[in-house]
Amino acid sequence: MRALRAGSVERTQNRYGWFFVILSVLLIAAFALYPVISSFLLSFQTGKGAVYKFNGFNNFTRLFSDKVFKQALINTFIYFLFQVPVMTVLALLIANILNHPKLKFKGFFRTAIFLPCVTSLVAYSVLFKSMFSLNGLVNKLLLDLHLISAPIPWLLDAFWAKVLIILALTWRWTGYNVIFYLSALQNIDRSIYEAADIDGASKTKQFFHIVIPMLTPVILFTSVLSTIGTLQLFDESYNITGGGPGTATITLSHYIYNILFKFTPNFGYASTISYVIVFFVAIFAFIQFKVAGDRNEAN
């Protein structure tokens, strides 16, 4: 009898539970699941306006002959390969410094480091574009310090334009990772550092043998977020360099924007390129989780 009552109560609770979550489920299905499925089906279609027809894998085969797509893919990988490691290492070093117990004005430094993250994307892009122009503040400062003999064409040269975007990304997003690392560092018991000091471990050894291993889950988390953000990069390419000179700095997301809003709209081909981004995000996230998992098992 008690078992029957317990089963009845459990079924009632389940009904009430579904009643409270059904709205969220419907919203997720309407605004997340449906667009994903719809865009995937659209990647196998071609057409204009509201008239589309199935064209098999033609959109995917078109990628191999699309020079702008290849350039955008190479640019995106360059940003990823340089910016993510640099930002991660820099954030770890800054967080370790800010975590020092004898550091004064901690609140000021933490606010200053995190402030770029809440700055308007458009505002900071316009500021960087002005500062790094041919007669901008950066070139003037470098000339006054006699570090260069002629202004650097930050916006006019393909190499320096890529460097500028990497610098802009590092300036804006390093503080975001610093907050995560700093929070994790503050959860490490100070007695661990004290024991390491007694054993004669230097600060460098403590960083590599205490800080890095204990922050591995957080480093993995921020690496995955940085990977996703970099592979979806749009604002800096669009607002700072405009994808130029030519297509030297264009990214995959910027190219998708051009296909949809700048050129004759081709939603099918744009959806195909978007799934290229999804593919690489999944691959790199899997590799990062696999590497971190193997290290944890080894430890």
- State the residue range of the domain holding 39: 2-59
Question: Which backbone phi and psi does 148 adopt, to 5 degrees?
Answer: -135, 155
pLDDT band at 7 (very low <50, low <70, confident <90, very high): low
Instruction: Please report the pLDDT score of residue 297 as a whole number.
Output: 56
Instruction: Please report the pLDDT score of residue 138 as a whole number.
Output: 94
pLDDT in tens, 214-261: 888 888 889 888 888 899 999 999 999 999 898 999 999 999 999 988
Say what percent of the chain tops pLDDT 90: 38
Regarding whether 89 and 54 lie in a shared domain, the answer is no
**What gap in Å lies between CA 186 and CA 189, rounded to an integer?**
8
Regarding whether 87 and 206 lie in a shared domain, the answer is yes
The secondary structure of 221-261 as a DSSP string is: HHHHHHHHHHHT--HHIIIIITT-STTTT--HHHHHHIIII
- Judge whether residue 191 has pLDDT over 70: yes
- Judge whether residue 3 has pLDDT over 70: no
Average pLDDT for 119-145 = 91
Instruction: Please report the pLDDT score of residue 52 as a whole number.
Output: 79
Side-chain half-sphere CA neighbours of 163 within 13 A: 10
- Judge whether residue 298 has pLDDT over 60: no
Regarding whether 210 and 150 lie in a shared domain, the answer is yes
List of residues 6+ apart from 249 with CB closer than 8 A: 75, 158, 161, 162, 165, 237, 241, 243
Regarding whether 134 and 54 lie in a shared domain, the answer is no
**What gap in Å lies between CA 293 and CA 247, rounded to an integer?**
38
Residue at a domain's end among 59, 75, 108: 59
Closest CA to 192 of 204, 217, 212, 210: 210
Regarding whether 177 and 40 lie in a shared domain, the answer is no
Residue at a domain's end among 23, 40, 59: 59
pLDDT band at 177 (very low <50, low <70, confident <90, very high): very high
Regarding whether 22 and 132 lie in a shared domain, the answer is no
Regarding whether 195 and 81 lie in a shared domain, the answer is yes
Instruction: Please report the pLDDT score of residue 38 as a whole number.
Output: 87
pLDDT band at 295 (very low <50, low <70, confident <90, very high): low
Q: What is the CATH number of the domain that holds 129?
A: 1.10.3720.10
Residue at a domain's end among 13, 44, 59: 59
- Judge whether residue 140 has pLDDT over 90: yes
**Mean pLDDT rounded to a whole number for the chain:** 86
- Judge whether residue 206 has pLDDT over 80: yes
Domain tally, the chain: 2
Regarding whether 122 and 43 lie in a shared domain, the answer is no
Instruction: Please report the pLDDT score of residue 49 as a whole number.
Output: 64
Average pLDDT for 63-92 = 93
- Judge whether residue 4 has pLDDT over 60: no
Within a 10 A sphere around the Cβ of 211, how many other Cβ atoms? 21
Instruction: Please report the pLDDT score of residue 19 as a whole number.
Output: 78
**Under a CB-based contact definition with an 8 Å cutoff, are residues 230 and 84 in contact?**
yes
- Judge whether residue 296 has pLDDT over 60: no
Average pLDDT for 70-90 = 93
Per DSSP (E only), the strands in the chain are 45-48, 51-54
Closest CA to 170 of 73, 79, 50: 79
Regarding whether 133 and 45 lie in a shared domain, the answer is no
Regarding whether 99 and 199 lie in a shared domain, the answer is yes
Regarding whether 220 and 162 lie in a shared domain, the answer is yes
Within a 10 A sphere around the Cβ of 201, how many other Cβ atoms? 16
**What gap in Å lies between CA 47 and CA 247, rounded to an integer?**
26
What is the torsional sign of CA 25, 26, 31, 34? positive
- Angstrom CA distances, 142 to 128, 152, 156, 163, 167, stand at 16, 9, 18, 16, 16
Regarding whether 160 and 203 lie in a shared domain, the answer is yes
286: tokens are 């899997």
Secondary structure (3-state) at 47: strand
pLDDT in tens, 15-52: 777 778 888 888 888 888 888 888 888 888 887 766 77
